[in-house]
Structure 1
Amino acid sequence: MDLPVIDLASYLTASSELAAGSPIDFSPQLTSLCEVVSRTLKETGALLVKDPRCSAEDNDRFIDMMERFFEKPTEFKRLQARPHLHYQVGVTPEGVEIPKSLVDDEMQENIRAMPKEFQPLLPKGPDPKWRYMWRVGPRPSNTRFKELNAEPVIPEGFPEWKDTMDAWGVKMISAIEAVAEMAAIGFGLPRDAFTSLMKQGPHLLAPTGSDLDRHGQEGTVFAGYHYDLNFLTIHGRSRFPGLYIWLRNGQKVEVKVPIGCLLIQIGKQIEWLTAGDCIAGMHEVVVTKRTRDAVKLASEQNRSLWRVSSTLFAHIASDAVLKPLGHFAESPHANKYPSMLAGEYVEKELAVINLKGQKSESS
């Protein structure tokens, strides 16, 4: 199944002419497009978009820099780690993050109940991927969740680091905001229902780096079967395939992101806000035959064998309340999603996947 590609250009043009709180008076075609966005997110948990502000060249510039970083010696990369801040800024070394499917009994039961052809590959231990966390956008001056809103880490020898990270991160957040507005309209909520809660959120540009030279055997699991704990996740196109997602109907699908497009996936926070009308999308990253073919080609062309994901996690603000919005509060499932500060929810999830550390570390 191919995901539809939504071109955001017409929505961006129309919405730029509206003040934030003004009533929506979009054309029937635009309203219909917003309904396609909300319906696709609900049915598949994912969406492909084309944003004229985010070019393939922007994505390439970012991936080029991240390849250079991940190719650095392990000792250099480890200097950028901040375990006492739950690895929420700087680098997370390989072998730290534990996929939820490895520690969650209910998830393992669900996997065993799947038809064989739709089952994920079960990891044998922590993910063998590196990740770099870079906070994007303004942070709150007052917050109960200081460690989720910490200062960024800039590695030595990369003078372009901050500008490159910020430029790509801000563009991807802009794309998420447009999709969040369109989804809100499609769901029959106020246009800013989601985006107003995202203001000063702990958004993270969080590229992963997976060494296909060392871990390139077919069947290697780089990111074990999991959902994202944030609001929406957005990815630029990776240079190596291997991402699989699970649709709402349980079908497993390999994602192919066309050049110049971005992939958006549903996280747990939007599931909360819609009382489960949208369900956080499950996904994994594994080495497949297609990955091996791409490795062979990259080797012949003398290109980097690090698989970099151009990933950004957009969050609800840490001090904002997660609860079903508008008519979703009347859903029969609303009681499964009690009111909770977004920061409290994130901390609970980080503890499960081994990123929060011990209480003594974070106090």
Structure 2
Amino acid sequence: MMEKYFSSPHEFKVLQERPHLHYQVGVTPEKVEVRRSLIDEEMQEKLKAMPKEYQPHTPIGPDLKWRYFWRIGPRPSNTRFQELNAEPVIPNGFPEWKETMDSWGYKMISAIQAPHLLAPTGSDLQKYGQERTVLAGYQYDLNFLTIHGRSRFPGLNIWLRNGQKVEVKVIVGCLLIQTGKQIEWVTGGDCIAGMYEVVGTNRTADAIRLAKEQKRSLWRVSSTLFAHIASDAVLKPLGQFVESPLASKYLPICAGEYVEQELAVINLKGKK
């Protein structure tokens, strides 16, 4: 369904765009989201210090991917953060949309409890299928946990805690779970947010050739789900992590306020 949607004409897809809601429902077009690694000087210094073979690819501008945010789970009836808890957007011509998105989203969150965003992500490999093309630049996720379904096309790289860069291969029937910044916050830095990128590789090129032979869609779809701490809850080190040596770095902040700060940095809140 998402391959069909992302293959739709540009002028149809942008009807589901909601920039005034920080793109937190509906579609985010390509070349909108700016990766923090492009503008965060501290992160750039850390990248330069990495061994050459573990350094991420450097994007030359905003990400080339599209993304569709679909809320999973009940919304709070009373919240300070209406933009982060807005009504869903359903494209015309997709009668199966709500049932399909809800069905897959609830399957993915069966292991966790939080307010969530199912975010199928699409990259047009017909346009951006060349090797070393950066589809999603080096970044962490701002939420609590991120769950990825297996994509038909390779290209996801992650960084281990020791700094080693690893190409991800998700086994059929399995999901990949990555840590986000909110879990780093509540553990006082004990569990750090995972870094990742999506870049065209020779394996991506092989998958593109096979898809062409089989006359399949060349949209790379990743059925990602972002699990969040409730917007009005306070992020701070909890339990044993209050005594963590790094706990003082993670000052109490409302989760919704933190999300809005991050969205502003990555150009999803209208800040250039």
TM-score by length of 1: 0.74
Task: Identify the residue that residue 5 of structure 1 maps to in structure 2.
Answer: none
Report the CA distance between 1:331 and its aligned residue.
Answer: 1.0
Give the direction of change, closer, same or farther, for the CA distance of 1:268–1:244 in structure 2 (3 Å limit).
same
**Hey, what's the Cα distance between the residues in 1 that align with 2:151 and 2:93?**
24
**Hey, what's the Cα distance between the residues in 2 that align with 1:157 and 1:83?**
22
Report the CA distance between 1:279 and its aligned residue.
Answer: 0.4
Q: After superposition, give the CA deviation of every residue in 1:296-322 in whole Å (9 maximum; x if it has no partner).
A: 000000000000001000000000111
Equivalent position to 1:85, from 9, 18, 21: 21
Task: Identify the residue that residue 238 of structure 1 maps to in structure 2.
Answer: 151
**Hey, what's the Cα distance between the residues in 2 that align with 1:109 and 1:334?**
23
**Hey, what's the Cα distance between the residues in 2 that align with 1:149 and 1:296?**
41
**Hey, what's the Cα distance between the residues in 2 that align with 1:141 and 1:341?**
17
Unmatched 5+ stretches in structure 1: 1-64, 178-194
Which runs of structure 2 are paired with 1:208-223 in the superposition (5 Å)?
Answer: 208-223=121-136
Task: Identify the residue that residue 168 of structure 2 maps to in structure 1.
Answer: 255
1:293 aligns with 2:206: yes
Q: What number of residue pairs does the alignment pair up?
A: 272
Equivalent position to 2:105, from 169, 176, 189: 169
1:268 aligns with 2:181: yes
Report the CA distance between 1:358 and its aligned residue.
Answer: 4.9
SS at structure 2 position matched to 1:135: strand
1:105 aligns with 2:41: yes
Which runs of structure 2 are paired with 1:1-363 in the superposition (5 Å)?
Answer: 65-175=1-111, 177=112, 195=113, 198=114, 201=115, 203-358=116-271
Unmatched 5+ stretches in structure 2: none
Report the CA distance between 1:357 and its aligned residue.
Answer: 1.3
SS at structure 1 position matched to 2:138: strand
Report the CA distance between 1:108 and its aligned residue.
Answer: 0.9
Check the 8 A contact 2:265/2:271 in 1, yes or no.
Answer: no
* Structure with the higher strand share, 1 or 2: 2
Check the 8 A contact 2:184/2:193 in 1, yes or no.
Answer: yes
**Would you identify which runs of 4 or more consecutive aligned residues in structure 1 move more than 6 Å?**
none
**Hey, what's the Cα distance between the residues in 1 that align with 2:128 and 2:154?**
14
SS at structure 1 position matched to 2:147: strand
- Percent identity between the two aligned chains: 77
Higher-Rg member (1/2): 1
SS at structure 2 position matched to 1:214: helix
**Hey, what's the Cα distance between the residues in 2 that align with 1:332 and 1:114?**
24
**Hey, what's the Cα distance between the residues in 1 that align with 2:226 and 2:168?**
18
**Hey, what's the Cα distance between the residues in 1 that align with 2:42 and 2:58?**
14
SS at structure 2 position matched to 1:307: strand
Task: Identify the residue that residue 185 of structure 1 maps to in structure 2.
Answer: none
**Hey, what's the Cα distance between the residues in 2 that align with 1:320 and 1:239?**
37
**Hey, what's the Cα distance between the residues in 1 that align with 2:145 and 2:13?**
28
* Letter paired with 2:96: E
**Hey, what's the Cα distance between the residues in 1 that align with 2:9 and 2:193?**
35
**Hey, what's the Cα distance between the residues in 2 that align with 1:352 and 1:95?**
15
* Structure with the higher helix share, 1 or 2: 1
**Hey, what's the Cα distance between the residues in 2 that align with 1:153 and 1:328?**
39
TM-score by length of 2: 0.99
Report the CA distance between 1:225 and its aligned residue.
Answer: 0.1
**Hey, what's the Cα distance between the residues in 2 that align with 1:231 and 1:207?**
17
SS at structure 1 position matched to 2:101: helix
